Homo-oligomer: A and B are copies of this chain.
């Protein structure tokens, strides 16, 4: 469960998050969209404290994220984060990438970690790439390894920041397939994406942001077909026309 209570954040003078109130119940799949620079990334980066906030409170599984006393390691172990640019560790094989955190954060044995890692690799359909380095993988494969890496910590929550927008079109499908299967399993997911197909298929709710504010939220079909606000309508028409 994730809760934003009156969250505000500034980069210098720029008000990137403006009085955000949001409640994401356990198991929900939330899609966040909005124009570039509207604060989508910032929003989800605050959830695992990659960014500090200046006002308000974010509560994840009863932990207040930005309280100095919060056990960050525990918090982050419960949250998987997937980046647009994958950010796999280039000096490690896929398997090593996935094992790193379980071994060093959860302190489980290497043997056990390897078992888990292989299992997660299989789940994203990349069993045979265990010993490949990131540079030897296609973008789509890299992103799937990144997802496996996130899953290896058995998180309750997965956050995705535009997971497919750095990918070639033919690879987007393979990553979305994995994400769909996760969504169907009931993991809480927060996904920044413009992939309408994905949103319509599995999202419980779509959230539209602009200029640091939540402008509109609704069921995916309602939102995409009948946006309530003019700004959302304008945005949807833009990503649709081409």
The CA of A17 and the CA of B78, in the complex, are separated in Å by: 49
Tell me whether B138 and A36 are in contact (CB under 8 A): yes
Asked whether, in the complex, the Cβ of B36 is within 8 Å of the Cβ of A171, the reply is yes
Contact among B198, B239, B242 with A242 in the assembled complex (CB-CB below 8 Å): B198
Tell me if A197 is interfacial: C-beta within 8 Å of chain B.
yes
Contact B242 A176 (CB under 8 A): yes
Determine if A241 is an interface residue (Cβ-Cβ < 8 Å). yes
Interface status of A194 (Cβ within 8 A of chain B): yes
Say whether chain A's binding surface is mostly helix, strand, loop, or mixed. helix
Asked if A169 and B198 sit within 8 Å, CB to CB, the answer is no
In the bound complex, do residue A169 and residue B138 qualify as a contact, i.e. CB atoms below 8 Å apart? Answer: no
Residue contact B197 to A241, C-beta cutoff 8 Å: yes
Asked if residues A169 and B241 are in contact (CB atoms below 8 Å), the reply is: no
Report the interface size class on chain A. 20 to 34
Closest to A36 in B: B168
With a cutoff of 8 Å between Cβ atoms, the chain B residues found around residue A164 in the complex are 242
Determine the distance from Cα of A47 to Cα of B30 in the docked complex, in whole angstroms: 46
Asked if A35 meets B170 with Cβ closer than 8 Å, knowing A176-B242, A242-B176, the reply is: yes
How far, in Å, is A180 (CB) from chain B's closest CB? 10
Q: How far is the CA of A241 from the CA of B238 in the complex (A)?
A: 20
B138/A173 in contact, CB under 8 A: no
Question: Which residues on B sit within 8 Å (CB–CB) of A169?
Answer: 165, 194, 238-239
- By a CB distance below 8 angstroms, the chain B residues around A126 are none
A57 at the B interface (CB under 8 A): no
Q: Collect the chain B residues with CB atoms within 8 Å of residue A171's CB.
A: 36
Q: What residue in chain B is nearest A170 (Cβ atoms)? A: B238
Docked complex Cα distance between A176 and B238 (Å): 11
Q: Is A75 an interface residue (CB 8 A)?
A: no
B-chain residues with CB within 8 Å of residue A204 when the two chains form the complex: none
Q: Of residues 47 to 74 in A, which have CB atoms within 8 Å of B's CB atoms?
A: none
In whole angstroms, what is the CA distance A17 to B120 when docked?
38
Q: Closest residue to A140 on the B side, CB-wise?
A: B36
